[in-house]
């Protein structure tokens, strides 16, 4: 079946440093890939999604490229801020899984001043 | 825009008790979901429903029942609460299709005493 594997947290970074959260996936279909972000006390919300292979998604300085050959969708940001502290989830959905999305285990990011 | 409202925010019950969580959405979305969130395990799908009166089991449906009596509401029942089931339960909805964004509620925390 489908699966999503991402960097185990927690990850602690200083403000201004760069972030990479690794995400790898397995599926036999042609997925849409998602990054969601969850702030304390809130539900997850979409950061961005990419429906097509070899395309890049971005939002709020975060970006990820849908790499079909490597089956990866790593999240990157050049310079993190304290306000980026949150849990980040990689997810996929495809026609094989019906209409639901399969999530990774989440990566908790803490950015310190 | 719309909103997903989950009630109650905290649900406290005794071991063996049947407990119900409720979710309402005003997006007019067809598909609704219940995910369970455990630290280090990410989001795991319990049940979903693609239309009124439809129910589909997810990976974690054992020990749970669900009900979709109206398009706007989706409830989840823990049939016999156990202490190892203490977690946050997230309701979500989407307009349908494998590439559509999920919109989440803020979550309900289950506490078993």
Instruction: Verify whether the Cβ–Cβ distance A43 to B101 is below 8 Å.
Output: no
Q: Please check the confidence at residue A98 and state whether its pLDDT lies above 60.
A: no
A39-88 pLDDT tens trace: 999 999 999 999 999 999 999 999 999 999 999 999 999 999 999 999 99
- Structural tokens at position B87: 């977690």
Average pLDDT score, chain B: 94
Q: Does A51 touch chain B (CB under 8 A)?
A: yes
B75, B32 contact by CB (below 8 A): no
A21 CA: distance to closest CA in chain B (Å): 15
Q: Please check the confidence at residue A106 and state whether its pLDDT lies above 60.
A: yes
Residues in B touching A97 (Cβ below 8 Å): 98
B9-19 pLDDT tens trace: 999 999 999 99
Strand partners, B77: B20, B65
How crowded is the C-beta side of B3, counted as CA atoms within 13 Å?
4
A94, A101 contact by CB (below 8 A): no
Q: Does A46 touch chain B (CB under 8 A)?
A: yes
The vertex-A58 CA angle with A94 and B48, nearest 5°, equals 30
Q: Please check the confidence at residue B87 and state whether its pLDDT lies above 80.
A: yes
B55-70 pLDDT tens trace: 999 999 999 999 999 9
Residues in B touching A28 (Cβ below 8 Å): none
CA distance A85 to A7: 15
């Amino acid at each position: 079946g489908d699966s999503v594997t991402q960097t185990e947290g927690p990850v602690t970074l200083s403000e201004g440093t760069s972030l990479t959260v690794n995400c790898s996936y397995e599926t036999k279909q042609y997925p849409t890939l998602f990054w969601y972000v969850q702030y304390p006390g809130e539900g997850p919300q979409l950061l961005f999604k990419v429906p097509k292979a070899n395309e890049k998604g971005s939002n709020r300085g975060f970006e990820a490229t849908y790499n079909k050959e490597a089956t990866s969708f790593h999240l990157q940001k050049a310079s993190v801020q304290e306000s980026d502290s949150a849990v980040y989830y990689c997810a996929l959905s495809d026609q094989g899984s019906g209409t639901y999305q399969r999530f990774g285990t989440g990566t908790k990011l803490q950015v310190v001043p | 825009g719309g909103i997903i409202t989950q009630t109650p925010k905290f649900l406290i019950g005794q071991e063996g008790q049947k407990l119900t969580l409720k979710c309402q959405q005003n997006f007019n979305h067809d598909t609704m979901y219940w995910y369970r969130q455990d630290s280090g395990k990410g989001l795991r799908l319990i049940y979903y429903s693609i239309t009124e009166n439809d129910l589909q089991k997810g990976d974690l449906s054992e020990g749970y029942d669900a009900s979709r009596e109206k398009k706007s509401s989706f409830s989840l029942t823990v049939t016999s609460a156990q202490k190892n089931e203490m977690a946050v339960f997230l309701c979500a909805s989407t307009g349908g299709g494998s590439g559509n964004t999920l919109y989440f509620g803020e979550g309900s925390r289950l506490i078993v005493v």
